[in-house]
Amino acid sequence: MKEKEKEQLGSNNLKESFEHAIEGIVESIISERNLRIHFAIGLLVIAATFFLPVKREDTLWIIFAVFFVIWSELVNTIIEHLMNLYSKEYHPVIKIVKDVSAGVVLWATLFSVTVGIMVFGGILFDWSLEIAKIFAIISTVTFPLLSIKVVRSWKKKK
């Protein structure tokens, strides 16, 4: 078996497994602009917890939210590569798969913004928890309904 083929199949060696995982993340960071943006924002947000009086449990939510967005962006990258490998030509099902995958990233980002409003809004702007709740309602109800309306109007223009 050639070295490249062996490398692609993975490894039972723990050290090599970590090396492959790190290579995958680094390759994704290099090739995906949005992932670089999410990493940069995530780093800034987590760094802010060192300088602001963020409670322990709130810090956990912040870290979870950052990891969740980055995880969803990595999964989106996997799905995009798989769809591109499957076909280079336009196909309506591939478009739906890619759009839904991107939607997962958007959904994770809305969750993270909600967490950020809950944690940092109170500390920086003395916002009540109600503001975060309102944003969460807008994200979970109004945003999808508005998106449906906008997408339908885009499709009518085509």
73 marked as part of a ligand binding site: yes
89 marked as part of a ligand binding site: yes
SS (H, E, C) the chain: CCHHHHHHHCCCCHHHHHHHHHHHHHHHHHHCHHHHHHHHHHHHHHHHHHHCCCCHHHHHHHHHHHHHHHHHHHHHHHHHHHHHHHCCCCCHHHHHHHHHHHHHHHHHHHHHHHHHHHHHHHHHHCCCHHHHHHHHHHHHHHHHHHHHHHHHHHHHHC
Can 19 be counted among the known catalytic residues? no
23 marked as part of a ligand binding site: no
Among the listed residues 5, 57, 73, 130, the single catalytic one is 73
32 marked as part of a ligand binding site: yes
5 marked as part of a ligand binding site: no
Residue whose structure tokens are 């995906």? 32
Q: Catalytic residue positions?
A: 73
Binding-site entries: 32, 73, 80, 89-91, 98-99
Cite the annotated binding site for substrate by residue number: 73
Residue list for the binding site for ATP: 32, 80, 89-91, 98-99
Binding-site residues from annotation for a divalent metal cation: 32, 80
